[in-house]
Chain A
Amino acid sequence: MANEEMKSKLKAFFMSDLGVDGDVLNYDTPLFGEEIGLDSVDSLEIISFVDDNFGVSMTGVAKENFQSIDTIAAFIEKNKA
């Protein structure tokens, strides 16, 4: 899957499943910052989505990989089989 497609899929997930307003969500927007405000419950949903859709486990992965759509996509890219 092309990187751009992956990011677009991730963005669609944040909008549909985690209620994030797409207008303010760029690929480099901090997900756990004040504006988007994700928390530990949301990270469980991210882990589950990434596992189901990209076959990559993010369980127990360091926080910095969850910073933005860019960093999640980079992690997936690096770790996919």
Chain B
Amino acid sequence: MTSNNRRCVVSGLGVICAVGNNVEETWNNALNSVSGIHKTTSLDTKNCYADLAAEVNCDTLDEIECPDEKDRASKLCIKAMKEALNDAGLGDFADSSRVSVIIGSCVGGVLSIEKYHRGGRDANEIPKMPIAAIASQVAESCHAGGIVTNVGNACAAGTISIALACDLIRAGKADVVIAGGSDSFASVPYSGFLSLHALDENGCSPFNHCNGITLGEGAGIVIVESLEHAEKRNAKRYCEVLGAGVTSDAHHITAPREDGICLLEAMERAVRNSGIKKSDIGYLNAHGTGTGKNDNAEINAFLKFFGDENPTLSVSSTKVMTGHCLGAAGAIEAVFSIKALTTNTVLPTLNYSAEDSEALKAKVGNMDYVQNKPRSKELECVMSNNVAFGGTNASIVFSKKPGDVQSQVAKDKKIAVTGIGIVSPIGNSKEVYLESVKNGKLPESASVHATVTNDDYKELGIKMAFYRKLDNLGQLQTVSGMRALKDANFTVTEDNAKQIGIIVGTSEGGLGATYDFQELITEEGNAGGSAFKFPHTVYNAAGGYLSILSGIKGYGVTITTGPLSGLDSIGYSMNVIHDGQEDAMMATGTDENLPIITELCQKLNVAADKVVEPYSDSKGFVVGEGSVSVILETEDYAKARGAKVYCYALGYGNGRKNVKFGHISGSGEALDIAINDALKDAGVSIDEIDAVCGFANGFKKLDDIEKAAYARVFGDKLANLPLFQVKERVGEGRAATATLAAAEAALMLGGELDSENAYFIANDGSVSKKTVATSGFKKILVTSFATGGSYSAVVLGK
């Protein structure tokens, strides 16, 4: 049985979608087989072949603090969050570091992007655009002070958020996690799915007519709590959250694998990690989008997976009620699944005629695809599945019993850093980057780019048939990822493809591509979207392309929480390895500098007008881009394949003091917390730290926070502590530079960067520079930040 300290329970639920503005209303409508799909009233449908959507109808979304500062996606999420907290009997958390927020989204603040584009380029819209705003604003609304993460895995993001919530609790990093997903209905996804001919003009009909999806919108929140914390406060307990499985198809950027084998693997992992039998699952809330490709892949995967062991499993898709709510889908469907479990009710897929039922039976045999009306059924465990663009598969199990959950089974394993891939404005490979550092190369202007060329593709054996599909972000990501694998001498084969996973960290992800898509459809109308460009708007496309190119089929998650995502990709990867999910992980940070990104920085008055260096008390920073990938693997795995080891990842930590998203001032003490948390996790004392790879970029507000925190944490030691700042050479590349800081630390510890320019902060706060030798370093601290008041730290050591 799952040990008590690994048990995660659900103590609160919140939802808003087309069939209800709260859980009670939504559930009652589901029991009455109500569909929320109607002709859309909010978007222009001129020349569009499909005009249906499942929209939220709620006039109280603005009844929150500062509604003008929030996108609809945040508003939906905060509404669901408030209901869930109220349901759980929880309130304001006073910046408690034990309370975390993990929210999934696909298109995030896309309505604000549209508003910015159509409405005079108002700078006030900018902070509402990135997905990162959502979790940050949820945390800000209830003062959650733990790790705050956004998941950007498109339509599987909601499910992954709940899985990550449990991972954090089981790793001892949180007591309560507000987990879920949110997305709003908007022109970009509507036009995008139209261009793919993936909308059903008659409304989605999962497992039935399968002519396409119908888009919805909404948010779902699940309060996941450690059993201990829930018991202590005598909390309501809906159910347990058992294991989850996340895998990558390595197949196609929009279409699922027809054989469904990676979805099958996700279910396999979910069941195995839960410590249950397949036959314990009584109901499966399928992804069931209504496209032929998805539904057939699922039908085949369910038959193959459950087959003789659980032939009468009940299956349905609730998307005929809610529409496809993209990044919110998994969260809303988790709420449905939990209500189904706790009330012993299986929900139906709607709109089956007698003829349809016969046709379905021919496809699915005895498996119980529940149709039209809900039914009573005694349930022990339920499963909820979601799949996404980029080839992500996610499966999670909710249960009345504790199961036998496997987590932190590899906690004692040392994690080695064995490969580094760098794509930066001063070089597209580790070797060229090192050469540039040696030559003291600096940014050439206040807005710099990392240009991938055909030579990179040629060297890496990437064919034109593949690279022609990539947008800029995908180019940066695939080249850095393949370089990291090459550097690690890691060949992905059929045998090991599931033993390695990817976590991509990105601050803006597909925001630039989303803006470009919006620009296109503003010009051409919603009927004029591009099927070729649409996939680039999802934040996990870059990671998806890397999985397709490399063949990596294991864990695959994209986190998008601001610059620190490039460091959290390492922290979360460590957790995946410690959980025994994978033997190896690629942790990466990737962000791009399209013209719109520089424009947004300029509008926000954070872009420098000339090249600036760290600690120069400037009014802005150099805008950069790039992608840096790091291979992490257990020491045993590295040894077995004879890999060279740069260093070890010893620990990671996070801190948060809530300030408004888009701001940082006043949050500095959270950096102290992140550093101390990482040191504790690594079992390292402050005196053992030989150097810091930090995040200063020249922008005074940011650099002052860093300086002040180091002064508090390191005290007298600071004056002689070398601080390395990669942004002096490559600009502010957000997640890319966060991972680059870690890569530099690894290069120093691994003996490949024997001297580097260091900054020293004197007792009076003045800063000096000198070149220092790095060969004596044994342990290096790496730090990063995100607006809204989040900080992360990682300790790397020899």
- Residues of chain A touching chain B, judged by Cβ–Cβ distance below 8 Å, are 17-21, 24, 34-37, 39-42, 44-45, 48
Which residues of the partner chain B approach A37 to less than 8 Å between Cβ atoms? Answer: 463-466, 468
B195 touches A20 (CB 8 A): no
CB of B197 within 8 A of CB of A20, answer no
B58 to chain A, nearest CB (A): 35
Query: How far apart are A47's CB and chain B's nearest CB, in angstroms?
Result: 9
Q: Are B468 and A17 in contact (CB under 8 A)?
A: no
**B467 contacts partner chain A, Cβ-Cβ < 8 Å:** yes
A21 and B532 in contact (CB under 8 A), knowing A39-B252, A41-B196, A44-B196?
A: no
Complex formed: what's the CA distance from A31 to B254 in Å? 20
- In the bound complex, residues from chain B placing their C-beta under 8 Å from that of A42 are 531-532
B530:A45 contact, CB within 8 angstroms:
yes
Query: What are the interface flags for B191-219 relative to A under an 8 Å C-beta threshold, 1 for contact and 0 otherwise?
Result: 00001110000000000000000000000
Q: Chain B: how many interface residues by the 8 Å CB criterion? A: 20
Complex CA–CA separation, A34 to B463 (angstroms): 9
Chain A positions within 8 Å of B254 at CB level: 41
**A15 and chain B: residue at smallest CB distance:** B468
Q: When chains A and B are docked, how far (Å) is the Cα of A67 from the Cα of B470?
A: 23
Complex Cα spacing A24 to B466, Å? 14
B255 contacts A by Cβ under 8 Å: yes
B798 within 8 A of A: no
List residues of chain B with CB within 8 A of the CB of A48. Answer: 195, 531
> Is B469 interfacial (CB-CB < 8 Å)?
yes
Report B519-559 CB contacts with A as 1/0, cut-off 8 Å: 00000000000111001000000000000000000000000
Other 19 A-B pairs with CB < 8 A, given A18-B468, A35-B465? A17-B532, A19-B468, A19-B469, A20-B464, A21-B464, A24-B464, A34-B463, A35-B463, A36-B465, A37-B464, A37-B465, A37-B466, A39-B252, A41-B254, A41-B535, A42-B532, A44-B196, A45-B530, A48-B531
Q: Which 3 A-B pairs have the closest CB atoms?
A: A37-B465, A19-B468, A44-B531
Residues of B within 8 A of A40 (CB): 255
- Residues in B neighbouring A45, C-beta threshold 8 A: 530-532
- Smallest Cβ-Cβ distance to B254: which chain A residue: A41
* Contact residues, B81-129 vs A (CB, 8 A): none
The answer to whether B195 touches A44 (Cβ under 8 A) is: yes
Q: Which residues of chain B have a CB within 8 Å of any CB of chain A?
A: 195-197, 252-255, 454, 463-470, 530-532, 535
**A41 → B minimal CB distance (Å):** 5
Among residues of A, the one whose C-beta sits closest to the C-beta of B532 is A45
A18:B465 contact, CB within 8 angstroms: no
**Whole-angstrom distance between the Cβ of A22 and the nearest chain B Cβ:** 11
Q: Which of A21, A34, A44 contacts B468 (CB under 8 A)?
A: A21
Chain A CB count within 10 A is highest, among B470, B530, B532, for B532
In the assembled complex, the CB of A23 is this many whole angstroms from the nearest CB of chain B, namely 9
A31 to B31, CA, bound (A): 50
Report chain A residues within 8 Å CB of B253.
41
Which chain A residues border B467 with CB–CB below 8 Å? 19
- C-alpha spacing A40/B469, complex, angstroms: 13
Separation of A36 and B535 alpha carbons in the complex (Å): 19
CB proximity of A72 to chain B, nearest CB, Å: 16
A41 touches B532 (CB 8 A): yes
Contact between B531 and A34 (Cβ–Cβ < 8 Å)?
no
Contact A18 B532 (CB under 8 A): yes
Can you list 16 A-B contacts (CB < 8 A)?
A: A17-B530, A17-B532, A18-B468, A19-B467, A19-B469, A21-B454, A21-B464, A35-B465, A36-B468, A37-B464, A37-B465, A37-B468, A41-B253, A41-B531, A42-B532, A45-B531
Instruction: Look across to chain A and name the residue whose beta carbon is closest to the beta carbon of B529.
Output: A48
CB-nearest residue of chain A relative to B530?
A45
Rounded to whole Å, the gap between the CB of A2 and the closest CB of chain B is 27
- Residues in chain B near residue A21, CB distance under 8 A: 454, 464, 468
User: Which residue of the partner chain A has the closest CB to B468?
Assistant: A19
Given known A-B contacts A41-B254, A41-B531, A45-B531, A35 and B196 have beta carbons under 8 A apart: no
**Smallest CB–CB gap between A66 and chain B, Å?**
15
- Shortest A59–chain B CB gap in Å is 9
**CB-based nearest A residue for B469:** A19
Q: Tell which of A17, A19, A21, A36 has the most Cβ of chain B within 10 Å.
A: A19
Q: CA A43 – CA B556 in complex, angstroms? A: 28
For A40, give the chain B residue with the smallest CB separation: B255
* Shortest distance from the beta carbon of A38 to any chain B beta carbon, whole Å: 8
Report the nearest A residue to B253, measured CB to CB.
A41
CB distance from B49 to the nearest CB of A (A): 11
In chain B, what residue has the closest Cβ to A41?
A: B531
The answer on a CB contact under 8 Å between B464 and A35 is yes
Complex Cα distance, B454 from A19, in Å, reads: 12
> A residues within 8 A CB of B535?
41
For A36, the chain B residues whose CB sits under 8 A away are 464-465, 468
Q: How far is the CA of A34 from the CA of B466 in the complex (A)?
A: 10
* Residues on B with beta carbons closer than 8 Å to the beta carbon of A17: 530, 532
Distance of A41 Cα from B454 Cα, bound (Å): 24
Flag if A20 contacts B532 (CB, 8 Å): no
Among residues of B, the one whose C-beta sits closest to the C-beta of A23 is B464
The residues of B that contact A41 with a CB separation of less than 8 Å are 196, 253-254, 531-532, 535
From B195, B468, B470, B535, residue with most partner A Cβ within 10 Å: B468
Whether A34 contacts B465 by the Cβ 8 Å rule is yes
B530 to chain A, nearest CB (A): 7
From B470, which residue of chain A is reached at the shortest CB distance? A19
**List of B residues within 8 angstroms of A35 by Cβ:** 463-465
